[in-house]
Structure 1
Amino acid sequence: MAAMTAQLISGKPVAEAVFNDLRPRINRLREAGRSVGLGTILVGSDGASAGYIRMKIDKAEELGMTAPHIHLDDAATQSEVLDAIAALNTDDEVTGVLIQHPTPPQIDFEAAMLTLDPDKDVDGLHPVNMGRLALGMPGPVPCTPAGIEALLAYHGIEIAGREVCILGRGTTLGRPLALLLSQKRPTANAAVTVVHTGVPDWPRYTQRAEIVIAAAGVPGILQPEHVRPGAVVVGGGVRYEGRKLLPDVDESVAEVAGAITPRIGGVGPTTIAMLFRNCVEAAERRAARG
């Protein structure tokens, strides 16, 4: 294993800080007679997906939230999925809805997502919420991008005015993260460059950046020679082979970077925390509307 020289920027204390902030907010809502609930939908029998859902339900209940769950079998139809979404859309106990991805091949996930109430979209990936993000309007923010911003802020890593290079342009991470980090906020306001594997000389951009965020979903794509010495490196992109997690950032990058996320426990915990933050903020916005 490569000798670690970079400061490790863990996501675990960030997530715990978020949960500690959410607990009293949830209690205040409940004391005011307002519900806070995470509704989940699982289609099929994928073991990993079932595990993720169970973890989220357990966390919701530990935080004092309701956690209704709808489990449809592998043969579920599109119509049954739409009925499940409609049920949670109209359930006043539910302030956030999560449709576990991936779904079986007969399910059009994107078409199903379009029927979700955007205000209950805890993933922040509904087109309405992506539009809100682009315009700087309040609404659920995509969880992994929001988690990365929180991670950097928690560890005191200055973003404002610095050059950030995002390697990857996906709709769940690279694209929304670029929108988020370029906004005028103390924990953002960066000069953001987005490159991808279709750019032949992409290392030219990562090599000059002060902060590099790997979001390509290509295992080991970011190597030490792609990073300037002392840069901050965040591994956001991963791919799974079975249950084995394969990150974008090669472990040897730690020999060059000034600060780096760990392979396990980096961006992952902050992503989960932001999902719950979206759920609570949706409840607060609903309460403010009366």
Structure 2
Amino acid sequence: MKINNNILSTIVSCLFFALFSWIVILLLSSKFSDTFSYIFFVFIRDHGLFAFLTNAILLCGSGVALGFLIIASWYNKLDVWLYAFALGVCIGLVYIVVFSASENPTSQEITDVLLIESSIDHRSVMESIWDYRWRILLSIVVYACFIFMPLVFAITHLVPNTKTYAGWLLEITKPSLNVVVIALFACAFQPFYLKTNAYDYIDLALLIAGIILLCIVLVRQKYELNFYGYSNLVMLGIEIVLIAICSNILASSDQYFSVRYMLYAFVFVVWCMECMYGYITYEEQPK
């Protein structure tokens, strides 16, 4: 498992702490404050604050990709595949933001957000899966690419041969432990009980499997984490306890996934930043 104890990991951990603090404040306010009991539902509405933060993160990711192209060109260190990847990220993220912004925002009342008013119906399991197909597909990608693959590779001690081009490319793009922890944090944002669909329990089972794998990796391999690495693990643990307490809040609306979209965007952008930073600072590229 790749451990990044550099300036980039410090910046990422600080941003992660800011997102963590904001989410904690919203959940605790909705759970324990009568005055702000609906504040979480206000921000998860369509075209609400979390949708804005998602677009802002994606635009930052596009800017990072553009900066990478400029810096790599300046130092004459452009690999064709990473160049195509960075260019695709730069254009693709802007397209996603523009497409999202072009949708006509509709006025959405709090009662429309609450599951008791709008989301509970008599759809079959297959109908529910079809309705949520995009969020399910996105979650599968996050689980597979940013959680299970790097953890399984770490447990089985699969290390790419960096003397070959393919192995070098795998080493550059391998998610770090911080990316895995943040991805688990994103996937943990779900109600642990009061679930309304069968696939929600699959989501929970995958989360538990990911946490177990992470614990195995941390126990078997003694990683030398810095303060920020340990703080990310602590924030993941606090979030799990918090969600266990506030699951009824998340279960009240299926639009809690707006928060996961934001965190998924953060995971992807952080991973891109690590790949590009690793490429710029890598000493030698195999032919």
Q: TM class by shorter-chain length?
A: 0.3 to 0.5
Greater helix percent: which structure? 2
Instruction: Give TM-score, length-normalised by structure 2.
Output: 0.35
Instruction: Give TM-score, length-normalised by structure 1.
Output: 0.34
